Chain A
Amino acid sequence: MPDPVYLDHAAGTPVRPEVLEAMLPFFGPRFGNPSSVHKWGRDARTALDEARERVAHALGASPDEICFTSGGTEADNIAILGSWRARRDAGRNAIVTTPIEHKAVLESVHAAAHEGAEERMCAMAPQGVVDVASFESLANASAAIASVMWVNNEIGTVQPIAQLAERAKAAGVLFHTDAVQALGKIAIDAKTVAFDMLSVSGHKIGAPKGVGAMFIRRGTVIEPLFHGGSQDRGRRPGTENVASVIGFARAAELAVSERDEECTRLTALRDQLESAILARVPDAVIHGRGAAKRAPHIVNVSVPGVDSESMLMALDLRGIGCSAGSACQSGSVEPSHVLSAIGVEPDLASSAIRMSLGSLSNEAAIARVAEVFPALVEKARGMARRAS
């Protein structure tokens, strides 16, 4: 069997060797608790502070604006529930978001709605980009917070974050963006873009799972979700995950410094993959392809009449790992809420396959997928013809 091909970088990436190397001392000699008063504590604490500075630098922020979390989900929860709870009594009760957000955002908004928040969903254009006029009309004087993801994790469309953040700011609405898929793909600069909060995650950029960070602009009040110690200025109590945070800082630095080069490389590979698929399967639909801006690493393709579950199995059995958007806890494939929100018919949505490129993607891998995927489509269609 040829080398396996990993095409699920949007789900997770291998820890980079530089990252692992940076982390190792903190499992061993520098194991101390950063809150301790002794040498061991200081060793850990200084490394933690330095990591915070490096993450801040990567995002154009100040170190005190960086809060470490267990990942994107926790950051999204803190951003939405934490800021809404802090603002609910000030006459701003609504939360504005989009139907294509990650479940971490959508479910946090639902949780707030359970506590009395008003939920407002922006209209979407069929290209998978939020309708700015709709956003503007919803993010008004009665809204507490608006949350719009920077890069959609299923279809890779880039949202006009700078513009939306400005509109929110003008209306006095806090603006949060889930930038989990944007880090390393899009320039993120807290100095020039007016978001108040931003979530990022480690395992999408070559750091371990279980670590992430959020940017919280100075002066933004949030109610913490956890209670306990005074770590992270009380915003996120609990002994810091020092080793992972060090790894995350290293990965974030690398992702930002390599961004232009990596985006150029991935864009070329992606275009190669898309044109190869479209050449052999002309009726394949690549979702979000019509968006003004797309991230370079996500290809979401539906082949009419070929169900994604069977395709994922067939690909996996040939050593090619893809996904179908989101998976439920049991591991079964669920219909994508993102595709249905942008108006994709259920039948077409149920044939969607997400291929996401990254560090493990190269010419050979893409060539192999460009060969195997259309062949599997042709085979599946041959079987369907015989059955009918």
Chain B
Amino acid sequence: MKERVLVAMSGGVDSSVAAALLVEQGYDVVGATMKLFCHGDDLPDRPCCSLDSVNDARRICQQLGVPHYVLNLESAFGRDVVDDFVHEYSVGRTPIPCVRCNTFTKFRDLLVKAGAIDATWIATGHYARTVNGELHRGVDLSKDQSYFLWGIDRRVLRRMLLPVGSQSKAETRAAAHRLGLELIAEKVESQDICFVPDGDHTKIIRQRLGAGAPALSAGPFVLSNGSPVGTHDGFARFTIGQRRGLPGGFREPMFVVAIRPEDRAVVIGPREELLGRGVVARGVNWLVDPPPVGARVSIQVRHRAAAAAAEIVRIDGEEIELALDEPVSAITPGQSLVMYDGERVLGGGFIEASRRSLPVRAA
């Protein structure tokens, strides 16, 4: 009896090829597209989660001769992902909704659906690999998505199949052609957050919190010594390291170095003020047995950032603090801190704060 796998299909090339490869490998594939939010009728097509994407996924499944379902996970996604997204911006952080979507929607809620249809496995089109119950970076480092997967329940790793994680994006496209999936083989990749139409995240904050929300209201630009240097129109429009939209007239390039929701201030400063020697993260989740304080790890503080060498100096329940060998730029609250041992993901957490000075291990 073939083992059943539920494949999360967005209608894009990666998940379509994932499904096709699993069919080729002899699995009993069931495709599912998650309906996560509704744009209403007044928005043009989005690369993901739109009606056309659902239709593409359905047609690919028809071509593969496997069933396809549309699963309505809208209310759970709204609660676990969108509400949190809005809340994070409202407290001056820069969230990554994809992390929570993976943690809660794909690898928890969808897994329940997989259980209901006796699917042993759950598969996605992520560029990452599972190796003996551990999560590893995707082979194509330029596409590696392991950074977004640190939050899933460790036990789920043994039920996950990530068929495209062991190949390059070019190989995925080639496989799409080889497998006759011309419908989606050259589809453009989505870069935006799926529920943020036209890349303007402030719209959804306005929708949820109202136009008068503090995060969208005028506040001061200040230097780190406290002197005001201008006015901005809402701190939710800024993220650490941002240059766009800052006041001019400084001798050196200026960046957002901090966001202070309590007085709505956006703190700006020169490049060196972006540098951190330590990082604190909360909500830590481990995908391996937790390493001890003092362990040497390599960390990544944003998607596509280079890995940096660090040492764990403190673990308090779900909070962790690390000391960085070399300063790291633009450590941003709300983004993820992911700890690696080479290719292997150890765990991660949500960045709470950056430390300007080197943290030391408590005696």
Interface residues of A in 288-333 (CB under 8 A from B): 307, 309-314, 316-317, 329-333
Question: Inside 8 A of A317's CB, which chain B residues have their CB?
Answer: 30, 67, 117
| A334 and B113 contacting across the interface, CB-CB below 8 Å | no
Q: Is B51 positioned at the interface, with any CB of A under 8 Å from its CB?
A: yes
Question: Inside 8 A of B357's CB, which chain A residues have their CB?
Answer: none
Question: Inside 8 A of B30's CB, which chain A residues have their CB?
Answer: 313, 317
Report Cα–Cα, A332/B112, bound state, in Å. Answer: 17
| B117 and A314 contacting across the interface, CB-CB below 8 Å | yes
Q: How many residues of A contact B (CB 8 A)?
A: 18
| B72 and A313 contacting across the interface, CB-CB below 8 Å | no
| A332 and B67 contacting across the interface, CB-CB below 8 Å | no
Question: Inside 8 A of B51's CB, which chain A residues have their CB?
Answer: 329-330
Question: Inside 8 A of A380's CB, which chain B residues have their CB?
Answer: 116
Min C-beta distance of B192 to chain A, whole Å: 19
Report Cα–Cα, A387/B155, bound state, in Å. Answer: 13
**Binary CB contact string for chain A from 325 to 353 against chain B (1 if under 8 A, 0 otherwise):** 00001111110000000000000000000
Min C-beta distance of A344 to chain B, whole Å: 17
Report Cα–Cα, A26/B72, bound state, in Å. Answer: 43
Report Cα–Cα, A313/B61, bound state, in Å. Answer: 15
Report Cα–Cα, A102/B115, bound state, in Å. Answer: 33
Question: Inside 8 A of B115's CB, which chain A residues have their CB?
Answer: 383
Q: Smallest CB-CB separation from A376: which chain B residue?
A: B116
Report Cα–Cα, A309/B70, bound state, in Å. Answer: 9
Question: Inside 8 A of A330's CB, which chain B residues have their CB?
Answer: 33, 35, 51, 54, 70
Interface centre among B33, B58, B116 (most CB of A within 10 A): B116
Min C-beta distance of B70 to chain A, whole Å: 4
User: Is chain B's binding surface mostly helix, strand, loop or mixed?
Assistant: mixed
| A309 and B35 contacting across the interface, CB-CB below 8 Å | no
Question: Inside 8 A of A387's CB, which chain B residues have their CB?
Answer: 112
Q: Smallest CB-CB separation from B49: which chain A residue?
A: A330
**Binary CB contact string for chain B from 21 to 64 against chain A (1 if under 8 A, 0 otherwise):** 00000000010010100000000000000010010001000000
Min C-beta distance of B290 to chain A, whole Å: 25
Q: Smallest CB-CB separation from B68: which chain A residue?
A: A331
Interface residues of B in 56-83 (CB under 8 A from A): 58, 67, 69-72
Interface residues of B in 149-171 (CB under 8 A from A): none
Question: Inside 8 A of B116's CB, which chain A residues have their CB?
Answer: 307, 310-311, 313-314, 380, 383
| A309 and B113 contacting across the interface, CB-CB below 8 Å | yes
Q: Smallest CB-CB separation from A327: which chain B residue?
A: B70
Report Cα–Cα, A380/B112, bound state, in Å. Answer: 10
Q: Smallest CB-CB separation from B53: which chain A residue?
A: A330
Min C-beta distance of B116 to chain A, whole Å: 3
Question: Inside 8 A of B69's CB, which chain A residues have their CB?
Answer: 309, 312-313, 316, 331
Question: Inside 8 A of A311's CB, which chain B residues have their CB?
Answer: 116
Min C-beta distance of A130 to chain B, whole Å: 29
Question: Inside 8 A of A314's CB, which chain B residues have their CB?
Answer: 116-118
Report Cα–Cα, A310/B112, bound state, in Å. Answer: 9
Task: Pick from B54, B72, B112: contact of A333, CB below 8 A.
Answer: B72
Question: Inside 8 A of B67's CB, which chain A residues have their CB?
Answer: 313, 316-317
Q: Smallest CB-CB separation from A380: which chain B residue?
A: B116
Report Cα–Cα, A310/B71, bound state, in Å. Answer: 9
Q: Smallest CB-CB separation from A310: which chain B residue?
A: B116
Q: Smallest CB-CB separation from B41: which chain A residue?
A: A329
Min C-beta distance of B211 to chain A, whole Å: 26
Question: Inside 8 A of A383's CB, which chain B residues have their CB?
Answer: 115-116
| B113 and A310 contacting across the interface, CB-CB below 8 Å | yes
Report Cα–Cα, A309/B30, bound state, in Å. Answer: 14
Report Cα–Cα, A316/B51, bound state, in Å. Answer: 22
Report Cα–Cα, A313/B116, bound state, in Å. Answer: 8
Interface centre among A307, A309, A311 (most CB of B within 10 A): A309
Report Cα–Cα, A330/B118, bound state, in Å. Answer: 24
Task: Pick from A316, A329, A332: contact of B72, CB below 8 A.
Answer: A332
**Binary CB contact string for chain B from 160 to 190 against chain A (1 if under 8 A, 0 otherwise):** 0000000000000000000000000000000
Other than the given A317-B30, A317-B117, 5 more pairs (CB < 8 A) read A309-B113, A314-B116, A330-B35, A332-B35, A332-B70
Chain A to chain B contacts (Cβ below 8 Å), 8 pairs: A309-B69, A330-B33, A330-B35, A330-B54, A332-B70, A332-B71, A333-B70, A387-B112
10 pairs of A and B residues whose beta carbons are closest in the complex: A310-B116, A332-B70, A332-B72, A331-B70, A332-B35, A330-B54, A313-B117, A330-B70, A314-B117, A313-B69
